[in-house]
Amino acid sequence: MKIKVAGETKEVKDGLTLTELIENEQVENPEYVTVSINEEFLERAQIAETVLKEGDDIEFLYFMGGGR
Amino acid sequence: MKVTIKKEDYEKLLEHAKSERPNEACGLVAGKDVDGERHIEKVYLLTNIDHTNEHFTIDPKEQLASIKDMRKEGLTPLGNWHSHPESPSRPSEEDKRLANDSRASYLILSLEDSENPVLNAFHIEGSDGEKTVRKEELIIV
Protein backbone atom coordinates (compact mmCIF):
# COMPACT_ATOMS: atom_id res chain seq x y z
CA MET A 1 0.00 0.00 0.00
CA LYS A 2 1.02 3.62 -0.42
CA ILE A 3 1.29 6.05 2.46
CA LYS A 4 2.79 9.50 2.81
CA VAL A 5 5.54 10.04 5.40
CA ALA A 6 6.71 13.58 6.04
CA GLY A 7 5.36 14.62 2.66
CA GLU A 8 7.00 11.76 0.77
CA THR A 9 4.97 8.93 -0.80
CA LYS A 10 6.22 5.48 0.17
CA GLU A 11 5.26 1.91 -0.69
CA VAL A 12 4.99 -0.20 2.45
CA LYS A 13 3.58 -3.62 3.33
CA ASP A 14 -0.11 -3.92 4.05
CA GLY A 15 -0.91 -3.83 7.75
CA LEU A 16 2.24 -1.92 8.71
CA THR A 17 1.97 -0.71 12.27
CA LEU A 18 2.92 2.77 13.33
CA THR A 19 5.53 1.28 15.68
CA GLU A 20 7.12 -0.54 12.72
CA LEU A 21 7.11 2.64 10.67
CA ILE A 22 8.85 4.55 13.48
CA GLU A 23 11.53 1.83 13.54
CA ASN A 24 11.87 1.76 9.73
CA GLU A 25 12.23 5.54 9.59
CA GLN A 26 14.86 5.45 12.36
CA VAL A 27 13.12 8.27 14.18
CA GLU A 28 15.55 9.77 16.69
CA ASN A 29 14.34 9.83 20.33
CA PRO A 30 10.84 8.58 19.37
CA GLU A 31 9.56 9.02 22.91
CA TYR A 32 9.66 12.79 22.28
CA VAL A 33 7.91 12.65 18.92
CA THR A 34 4.31 13.63 18.37
CA VAL A 35 2.61 11.77 15.55
CA SER A 36 -0.16 13.06 13.35
CA ILE A 37 -2.09 10.96 10.85
CA ASN A 38 -4.22 12.83 8.35
CA GLU A 39 -3.71 15.96 10.46
CA GLU A 40 -5.11 14.32 13.61
CA PHE A 41 -2.68 14.18 16.53
CA LEU A 42 -2.40 10.85 18.31
CA GLU A 43 -2.31 10.36 22.04
CA ARG A 44 0.87 8.54 23.10
CA ALA A 45 -1.15 5.45 24.08
CA GLN A 46 -2.59 5.25 20.57
CA ILE A 47 0.80 4.86 18.91
CA ALA A 48 1.32 1.22 19.90
CA GLU A 49 -2.11 0.16 18.71
CA THR A 50 -2.25 2.01 15.38
CA VAL A 51 -2.24 0.04 12.15
CA LEU A 52 -1.70 2.18 9.07
CA LYS A 53 -4.05 2.28 6.10
CA GLU A 54 -3.67 3.00 2.41
CA GLY A 55 -3.34 6.74 1.82
CA ASP A 56 -2.48 7.71 5.39
CA ASP A 57 -0.52 10.95 5.67
CA ILE A 58 1.90 10.61 8.60
CA GLU A 59 3.99 13.33 10.18
CA PHE A 60 6.54 13.02 12.96
CA LEU A 61 6.94 16.20 14.95
CA TYR A 62 9.44 16.73 17.72
CA PHE A 63 7.94 18.16 20.84
CA MET A 64 9.42 21.65 20.92
CA GLY A 65 9.61 23.24 24.29
CA GLY A 66 11.89 24.40 27.02
CA GLY A 67 12.23 26.79 29.86
CA ARG A 68 14.26 29.67 31.14
CA MET B 1 28.21 25.21 11.90
CA LYS B 2 27.62 28.67 10.49
CA VAL B 3 24.07 30.04 10.56
CA THR B 4 22.93 33.23 8.88
CA ILE B 5 19.72 35.15 9.49
CA LYS B 6 18.54 38.22 7.60
CA LYS B 7 18.37 41.44 9.60
CA GLU B 8 14.67 41.84 8.79
CA ASP B 9 13.96 38.34 10.12
CA TYR B 10 15.99 39.00 13.25
CA GLU B 11 13.92 42.14 13.77
CA LYS B 12 10.71 40.12 13.37
CA LEU B 13 11.84 37.77 16.15
CA LEU B 14 12.84 40.68 18.33
CA GLU B 15 9.59 42.58 17.85
CA HIS B 16 7.50 39.46 18.50
CA ALA B 17 9.56 38.50 21.57
CA LYS B 18 9.16 42.00 23.01
CA SER B 19 5.42 42.00 22.33
CA GLU B 20 5.01 38.65 24.11
CA ARG B 21 6.80 39.76 27.30
CA PRO B 22 6.61 38.82 30.12
CA ASN B 23 5.99 35.41 28.50
CA GLU B 24 8.47 33.47 26.42
CA ALA B 25 7.94 33.69 22.66
CA CYS B 26 8.77 30.89 20.23
CA GLY B 27 8.66 29.65 16.68
CA LEU B 28 10.51 27.87 13.90
CA VAL B 29 13.17 28.79 11.35
CA ALA B 30 13.55 27.44 7.83
CA GLY B 31 15.80 27.97 4.86
CA LYS B 32 18.64 26.24 3.06
CA ASP B 33 21.39 23.99 4.34
CA VAL B 34 24.27 24.27 1.88
CA ASP B 35 27.60 22.56 2.46
CA GLY B 36 27.28 22.79 6.23
CA GLU B 37 26.15 26.41 6.21
CA ARG B 38 22.61 27.18 7.21
CA HIS B 39 20.83 30.17 5.75
CA ILE B 40 17.58 31.08 7.47
CA GLU B 41 15.17 32.43 4.86
CA LYS B 42 11.92 32.41 6.77
CA VAL B 43 10.99 32.71 10.43
CA TYR B 44 7.73 31.50 11.93
CA LEU B 45 6.24 33.30 14.92
CA LEU B 46 4.15 30.66 16.67
CA THR B 47 2.06 30.39 19.79
CA ASN B 48 3.61 29.44 23.12
CA ILE B 49 0.75 27.34 24.49
CA ASP B 50 2.28 27.50 27.99
CA HIS B 51 1.76 31.30 28.07
CA THR B 52 4.30 31.80 30.84
CA ASN B 53 7.66 33.48 31.39
CA GLU B 54 9.18 30.18 32.57
CA HIS B 55 8.39 27.70 29.81
CA PHE B 56 7.50 27.40 26.19
CA THR B 57 5.76 24.75 24.14
CA ILE B 58 5.21 25.38 20.45
CA ASP B 59 1.59 24.79 19.42
CA PRO B 60 1.83 21.43 17.58
CA LYS B 61 -0.94 22.35 15.14
CA GLU B 62 0.92 25.52 14.13
CA GLN B 63 4.14 23.50 14.00
CA LEU B 64 2.56 21.06 11.53
CA ALA B 65 1.12 23.89 9.41
CA SER B 66 4.57 25.55 9.35
CA ILE B 67 6.28 22.33 8.24
CA LYS B 68 3.79 22.02 5.38
CA ASP B 69 4.38 25.65 4.42
CA MET B 70 8.15 25.01 4.36
CA ARG B 71 7.67 22.08 1.99
CA LYS B 72 5.44 24.15 -0.26
CA GLU B 73 8.09 26.87 -0.42
CA GLY B 74 10.98 24.44 -0.93
CA LEU B 75 12.55 25.32 2.42
CA THR B 76 14.27 22.99 4.85
CA PRO B 77 13.29 23.00 8.53
CA LEU B 78 16.41 24.30 10.27
CA GLY B 79 15.31 24.47 13.90
CA ASN B 80 13.42 26.54 16.37
CA TRP B 81 13.79 29.75 18.34
CA HIS B 82 12.53 31.02 21.65
CA SER B 83 13.04 33.99 23.89
CA HIS B 84 14.43 34.26 27.39
CA PRO B 85 12.71 37.41 28.71
CA GLU B 86 14.71 37.45 31.94
CA SER B 87 17.70 35.18 31.47
CA PRO B 88 20.80 34.89 29.26
CA SER B 89 20.99 33.51 25.73
CA ARG B 90 22.06 29.99 26.61
CA PRO B 91 20.16 26.69 26.84
CA SER B 92 18.68 26.13 30.29
CA GLU B 93 18.66 22.64 31.77
CA GLU B 94 15.05 22.29 30.59
CA ASP B 95 16.00 23.51 27.10
CA LYS B 96 18.69 20.84 26.94
CA ARG B 97 16.43 18.12 28.29
CA LEU B 98 13.75 18.88 25.72
CA ALA B 99 16.07 19.33 22.73
CA ASN B 100 15.75 15.98 21.00
CA ASP B 101 16.45 16.70 17.35
CA SER B 102 20.20 16.74 16.73
CA ARG B 103 19.62 18.10 13.20
CA ALA B 104 18.09 21.30 14.56
CA SER B 105 19.64 24.65 15.36
CA TYR B 106 18.25 26.05 18.60
CA LEU B 107 18.13 29.84 18.60
CA ILE B 108 17.71 31.69 21.90
CA LEU B 109 16.95 35.39 22.02
CA SER B 110 17.69 36.97 25.38
CA LEU B 111 15.85 40.14 26.42
CA GLU B 112 17.50 40.13 29.84
CA ASP B 113 19.05 43.48 28.92
CA SER B 114 16.26 44.91 26.78
CA GLU B 115 18.55 47.60 25.37
CA ASN B 116 21.02 44.95 24.24
CA PRO B 117 19.18 41.82 23.12
CA VAL B 118 21.38 38.80 22.38
CA LEU B 119 20.61 36.08 19.84
CA ASN B 120 22.69 32.89 19.80
CA ALA B 121 22.32 29.55 18.04
CA PHE B 122 23.17 26.18 19.54
CA HIS B 123 23.52 22.57 18.47
CA ILE B 124 22.31 20.13 21.10
CA GLU B 125 22.65 16.38 20.86
CA GLY B 126 22.66 13.24 22.97
CA SER B 127 20.26 11.42 25.23
CA ASP B 128 18.83 12.37 28.60
CA GLY B 129 21.55 13.20 31.10
CA GLU B 130 24.25 13.27 28.44
CA LYS B 131 23.39 16.25 26.31
CA THR B 132 26.22 18.15 24.71
CA VAL B 133 25.81 21.76 23.62
CA ARG B 134 27.86 23.53 21.00
CA LYS B 135 27.47 27.19 20.16
CA GLU B 136 27.05 27.82 16.45
CA GLU B 137 28.41 30.82 14.58
CA LEU B 138 25.37 33.05 14.03
CA ILE B 139 25.65 35.96 11.64
CA ILE B 140 22.97 38.59 11.07
CA VAL B 141 23.23 39.66 7.43
- CATH code for position B88: 3.40.140.10
Task: Give how many domains chain A has, as a whole number.
Answer: 1
In a domain, A11, yes or no: yes
Average pLDDT over residues B33-50: 96
The predicted model scores a pTM of: 0.92
Q: Indicate which CATH number applies to the domain containing A48.
A: 3.10.20.30
Look over chain B and give the mean of its residue pLDDT values, rounded to a whole number. Answer: 95
Alpha carbon of residue A22 to chain centroid: 6
Q: Which domain holds residue A25?
A: 2-62
Res A31: pLDDT: 86
Nearest CA in chain B to A68: B54
Residue A68 counted as domain residue: no
DSSP 8-state class, residue B139: E
HSE of A18 in the Cβ direction (CA atoms, 13 Å)? 21
Question: How many domains does one find in chain B?
Answer: 1
CB contact under 8 A, A64 and B127: no
User: What is the complex's ipTM, to 2 decimals?
Assistant: 0.86
Is cis: bond before B22, omega within 30 of 0?
yes
Counted across chains A and B, CB pairs separated by less than 8 A come out at 70
Which residues does chain A have within 8 Å of residue B91's beta carbon, measured at their own beta carbons? 66
Residues of chain A contacting B92 with CB distance shorter than 8 Å = 66-68
Question: What residues make up the domain containing B117?
Answer: 2-140
The single-letter DSSP state of residue A68 is -
Within a domain: A43? yes
Greater confidence (B60 vs B127) lies with B60
Element (H, E) at B93: helix B93-97
Position A32 scores a pLDDT of 85
The parts of chain A modelled with pLDDT lower than 70 are: none
pLDDT of residue A28: 83
Q: How many whole angstroms separate alpha carbon B120 and alpha carbon B47?
A: 21
Closest chain B residue to A66, measured at CA: B95
Taking contacts as CB-CB distances below 8 angstroms, the residues of chain A near B26 are 64
